[in-house]
Amino acid sequence: MASEFDMQHFGFPTETLIIFFSVITVSVYLDLMAHKKQPEISLRDATLWSLFWVALSLGFYAYVWFRFSPEWAGLFLAGYALEKSLSIDNLMVFMAIFASFNIKSHLQHRILYWGILGALVFRAIFVVLGTSLLAASPWVGFVFAALVAYSAVKMMGGGGNDDDEEIEDYSDHWSVRFTRRLLPIYPRLFGDRFFVKRAEIDELAKTEPAVTQGLAAKAMRFATPALLCLAAIETSDIMFAFDSVPAVIAMTQEPLLVYAAMIFAILGLRSMYFVLAALARALVHLEKAVIALLFFIAAKLALESLNKVGFDTGMHISPNVSLLVVVGFLTLGVVASLVTTKAVES
């Protein structure tokens, strides 16, 4: 007999929507206010905020567990852990972008804040499109499986000199060139501002006449390098979503759970960025674990699609097994990294 979990969809419970968006809104506001006047983001502060976001995510997991079922909660947690691990590569790109624009830690937090607000919108669009396509036809699952497998293959060949060339070119990224064509640019940072007025530049020119050289004569407002950096951050995150959204959807096709998993993972990225900046070199084997995990997810998605199109294999991977595999691979990657790092240091 089919279980209640098998027979029903999670849907969009009003209570869950209110709790989710209320918690997200209040937490984002508190995070912004806590760092609004902070000149530098310390490792201790970033670690504490990272723990806060993880605790908040586990709180939502517990809510789904007790309010609905352990199966739904397991799907959310598996998607959250997967998105969190996939985000590490994206954070490495962010580091390279900030280095290209010589952006320091406080301004990095501000740019990441606005970039993540953009991610909330784009993730919603991608999740709706992805889950709708998968619901419309099980054959779409094979396309998603291929995309996830391609992401794994791309990560396998992602090291070496090509990455170094990418890092050097971010200040000339296509999104930056496009923004330059749309808006007049002031070539210097101006505090933590994305835009600066002509009157403010003219005032500065009284002591530094060179600041007006090369500026558009009729423009009254100029974009700063902080906005160019934000453009590069936002477009890189959108491209990252093409890889991560199919992978998370492979864990569960429930739009609200997919979106919640991705958003809780993304909201912790600002603080996690500053922690990873200090720990990135220690996690030497985590990427290998993520690659293996992506191949597992691609196989799982292809198997589920095969079962749905009329070729029932008799093999089914339960939500609990998926969660154990995700957590197991990531734990193995972290432990192997720590052991290797400790051996090298000794």
Say how many C-beta atoms besides its own lie within 10 A of residue 12's C-beta: 10
pLDDT per position as a tens digit, 178-210: 888 888 888 888 888 888 888 888 777 777 777
pLDDT per position as a tens digit, 2-15: 344 444 678 788 99
How far is CA 219 from each of CA 181, 194, 197, 203, 224, rounded to the nearest angstrom? 13, 15, 9, 15, 13
pLDDT per position as a tens digit, 288-346: 888 888 888 888 888 888 877 777 676 777 767 777 887 888 788 878 877 776 655 55
Whose tokens are 């089919």? That residue is 2
3-state helix, strand, coil split of the chain in percent (to 5) is 80, 0, 20
pLDDT of residue 162: 43
Which strand (E) or helix (H) includes residue 222? strand 221-223
Question: Do 309 and 138 contact (CB within 8 A), yes or no?
Answer: yes
The whole-angstrom distance between residue 39's C-alpha and the CA centroid of its chain comes to: 24
Mean pLDDT is lowest, of 19-28, 211-220, 276-285, for 276-285
Question: Cα–Cα distance between 178 and 294 in angstroms, integer?
Answer: 33
Instruction: Decide if pLDDT at 174 tops 70.
Output: yes
DSSP bridge pairs for 223: 185, 195
Band of pLDDT at residue 218, cut at 50, 70 and 90: confident
Amino acid in the structure at residue 201:
I
Query: What is the mean predicted confidence (pLDDT) over 227-250?
Result: 83
Query: What is the mean predicted confidence (pLDDT) over 137-142?
Result: 81
Question: Cα–Cα distance between 54 and 77 in angstroms, integer?
Answer: 11
Query: What is the mean predicted confidence (pLDDT) over 13-23?
Result: 90
Question: Do 136 and 71 contact (CB within 8 A), yes or no?
Answer: no
pLDDT of residue 341: 65
Question: Do 186 and 215 contact (CB within 8 A), yes or no?
Answer: yes
What residues does each domain of the chain span? Answer: 15-165+239-345
pLDDT per position as a tens digit, 252-297: 778 888 889 888 888 777 677 666 665 666 666 777 888 888 888 8
Instruction: Decide if pLDDT at 161 tops 50.
Output: no
Q: Which of 330, 239, 323 is nearest to 287 (CA)?
A: 330
- Is the full-model pTM beyond 0.85? no
Question: Cα–Cα distance between 344 and 346 in angstroms, integer?
Answer: 5
pLDDT of residue 34: 63
Query: What is the mean predicted confidence (pLDDT) over 124-152?
Result: 82
Question: Cα–Cα distance between 295 and 301 in angstroms, integer?
Answer: 10
Query: What is the mean predicted confidence (pLDDT) over 111-134?
Result: 82
Write the Ramachandran bin of 195: left for phi over 0, alpha for psi from -120 to 50, otherwise beta.
beta
